[in-house]
Amino acid sequence: MTNPLLANWTTPFGLAPFDDIADGDFEPAFDAALAQHMAEIDTIASAAEAPSFANTIEAMEGAGQAMDKVLSVFFAVAGADSNDKRQELQRTFSPKLADHSSRIHQNRALFDRVRALWNARDSLGLSDQEARVLKLTHRGFLRAGAALEGDAALRMTEVKSRLAVLGTQFTQNLLADEAGWSMALEDGDLEGLPDFLVAAARSAGKDMGQDGPVITLSRSLVVPFLQFSPRRDLRKTAWHAWTARGANGGETDNRMIAKEILALREERAKLLGYDTFAAFKLETEMAGSPDKVRDLLMQVWEPARASAMADARDMQEMLQADGVDGPLKGWDWRYYSEKRRKALHDLDEAELKPYLQLDKMIEASFACATRLFGLAFTPLELPLYHADCRVWEVTRDGQHVALFIGDYFARPSKRSGAWCSAMQMQAKRPVRKTPIVINVCNFAKPEAGAPALLSYDDARTLFHEFGHALHQILSDVDFGSIAGTSVARDFVELPSQLYEHWLEVPEVLEEFATHAETGAAMPRAMLNKVLAAATFDMGFQTVEFVASAVVDLDFHDGPAPADPMARQAEVLAGLGMPEAIPMRHGTPHFAHVFAGDGYSSGYYSYMWSEVMDADAFEAFTETGSAFDPDTARRLERFILSAGGSEEAEDLYKKFRGRMPGVGALLKGRGLAA
């Protein structure tokens, strides 16, 4: 019987036949697909014909179709619906994939063909996109160590293989710590908790086979608990569990893993001739150098810290008024911040939340895409990897554009956070493909029959991830390697963070923020309060982010630390980190940086992109309409459809006419002087 992962899929739009795939299918399909891809690469490398773009670069673009199919399914389920078997397979696959990549990049005959084309590039008559793909392919080979020889080449293979193993182990340890902790609540512990949180805690308890409500380390549960529980002792317990993920000792402790990862990254950079890993990593980003990143972060740090310290003084007084001696602590901040928001803005999240129904917010995100880009979304009934998933066909003018999958609810088998990934990237050559895109979130699942309610931060996350999805859905390039989100890391967050702004457009909230029970639109007075409070507590949010970005940069912009936790403490002390604010991601659970290379030396990229997104949304507001059609067409043409077909800075300048300064960001965060 043919392995369903290797079969010719006849499903609608090329979606994986999830109903037919079992965990036992993955390993044999993976091994066969890897062997097939290597055979395709060897054929390209050993071709008798002189190298051409078609027989080398485009042929490489078309190789590995079977591997793409297998891995797209596997990584979707491994991240969003893990189990013991899938975790075991991750540990097996990660080093094999690293070794596979090394074999390709160290194939001297293949590299010689790529290098010959690069050297003759001006005489090949290439299109702009062909020239771009050739440049990126040649650069990718060099940065992967293709020019290394002898012991250096062997060591590079070992380093990359070990890093793949460690990244997988870091992720699985974090998932184990998150899934392994819960705090049962007695009836008396529910005092002060809003109904939506009690319902979510009961649903979580039911999922865990317990009779009563529980708080887990899902952000959608633990954060509102820290906001609303008047029980300081329980807040302290939850906060310590939340901030100690990955640092609890035993087999799931990530501290020594982080140390080894940092040392190996430094070695990798030096093998390639760079002084530091940050210098290596940032060379291909918009920022270009660690100094430029540090300059941006420090421009934001001081006004953010000043704002946070002023807020802390107010909350310290509130703490003392409650009869608590001693300083404001991390487990106090969100509780007193929520009280302070209610006092300053007369805005209570418990009153706001019924107006932010998940289904209506999904509808809102789609409606904005319809008005801006002419997209239509039709729900489909197709087999998916989990019962909670939903799928829509995306069309424009009646023509199929993409499939969009939404997986919104938290569960123990799903890693924390929110992300967007593509099970299939858009391409026109050598094989035409339309995108299949997934948004994964971790919202609290309601009790059966009840509507799912979001916090305002949850709703912003939904719009953020859908901005990433639009970058994939609207991609319109020739080659998959430059499609969609295949852009500089400090540019990739621009579409996602820009799309968040449409959640704050009054006419969007007026139409879609309707009460879960009465169906009434959000009262204008409440809407005004929501918009007025948009930058509330921004000092805290900015400080926790910038501190994480500075620690990430410091880890990689110099010798690898002998003790990362000690180095983290030194960096925070040097910044003057407020005592009651932790890093958004402490080192042992900093998955952005240690689960893989994606955001290593690059966590700053959210803020780099925010400089642009604040300026980009002004392009709309300057016209008087958040839905100005001419601006939307420019946004699609130069940003959303262009992928990585040009340098990010050039694309932004084509859209906006210039690069922005940090002023728009400070203004948008309410931190401008």
Q: Do 237 and 223 share a structural domain?
A: yes
Q: Do 324 and 372 share a structural domain?
A: no
Nearest to 550 by CA among 294, 291, 259: 294
pLDDT tens digits along 526-578 = 999 998 898 999 999 999 999 999 999 999 999 999 999 999 999 999 999 99
160 lies in some domain: no
- Is the pLDDT at 235 greater than 80, yes or no? yes
Count of domains in the chain? 4
88 lies in some domain: yes
- The domain that holds 103 is classified in CATH as 1.20.1050.40
Helix axes 219-228, 195-207, angle to 10 degrees: 140
pLDDT higher at 620 or 220: 620
- Is the pLDDT at 18 greater than 90, yes or no? yes
Q: Is 56 exposed, middle or buried (0-12, 13-18, 19+ CB in 10 A)?
A: buried
Nearest to 259 by CA among 659, 564, 610, 584: 564
Q: Do 511 and 406 share a structural domain?
A: yes
200 lies in some domain: yes
pLDDT for 105 = 96
Point out the domain boundary residue: 105, 128, 147. Answer: 147
Structural domain for 392, as ranges? 354-532
- The domain that holds 406 is classified in CATH as 1.10.1370.40
- Is the pLDDT at 1 greater than 80, yes or no? no
Active-site residues: which are they? Answer: 465
Contact 571, 551 (CB under 8 A): yes
As a whole number of angstroms, the distance between CA 528 and CA 37 comes to 57
- Helix (H), strand (E), coil (C) string for 619-633: HHHCCCCCCCHHHHH
Mean pLDDT of the region 365-394? 97
Contact 209, 196 (CB under 8 A): no
- The domain that holds 576 is classified in CATH as 1.10.1370.10
As a whole number of angstroms, the distance between CA 356 and CA 530 comes to 12
Contact 73, 20 (CB under 8 A): no
Q: Do 523 and 378 share a structural domain?
A: yes
- Is the pLDDT at 144 greater than 70, yes or no? yes
pLDDT for 350 = 87
Q: Do 27 and 99 share a structural domain?
A: yes
> Hey, is 216 helix, strand or coil?
strand
- Is the pLDDT at 182 greater than 80, yes or no? yes
Q: Do 638 and 511 share a structural domain?
A: no
Average pLDDT of the chain is 96
pLDDT higher at 39 or 211: 39
Q: Do 428 and 518 share a structural domain?
A: yes
433 lies in some domain: yes
Q: Do 317 and 378 share a structural domain?
A: no
DSSP letters spanning 509-569: HHHH-B-TTT-PBPPHHHHHHHHHTTTTTHHHHHHHHHHHHHHHHHHHSSSPPSSHHHHHH
Q: Do 404 and 520 share a structural domain?
A: yes
pLDDT for 123 = 97
pLDDT tens digits along 386-404 = 999 999 999 999 999 999 9
Q: Do 378 and 317 share a structural domain?
A: no
Q: What is the dihedral of CA 31, 35, 37, 43, to 10 degrees?
A: 180
pLDDT tens digits along 596-639 = 988 999 999 999 999 999 999 999 999 999 999 999 999 999 99
pLDDT band, very low/low/confident/very high, at 145 (cuts 50, 70, 90): very high
pTM passes above 0.85: yes
Counting residues of the chain whose pLDDT is more than 90, the rounded percentage is: 93
Mean pLDDT of the region 448-472? 95
pLDDT for 584 = 95
DSSP letters spanning 243-285: HTTT-SSGGG--HHHHHHHHHHHHHHHHHTT-SSHHHHHHTTS
pLDDT for 207 = 87
5 lies in some domain: no
pLDDT for 481 = 98
pLDDT tens digits along 48-79 = 999 999 999 999 999 999 999 999 999 999 99
pLDDT band, very low/low/confident/very high, at 673 (cuts 50, 70, 90): low
Q: Which two three-digit tokens encode residue 571?
A: 């960096």
Q: Do 527 and 581 share a structural domain?
A: no
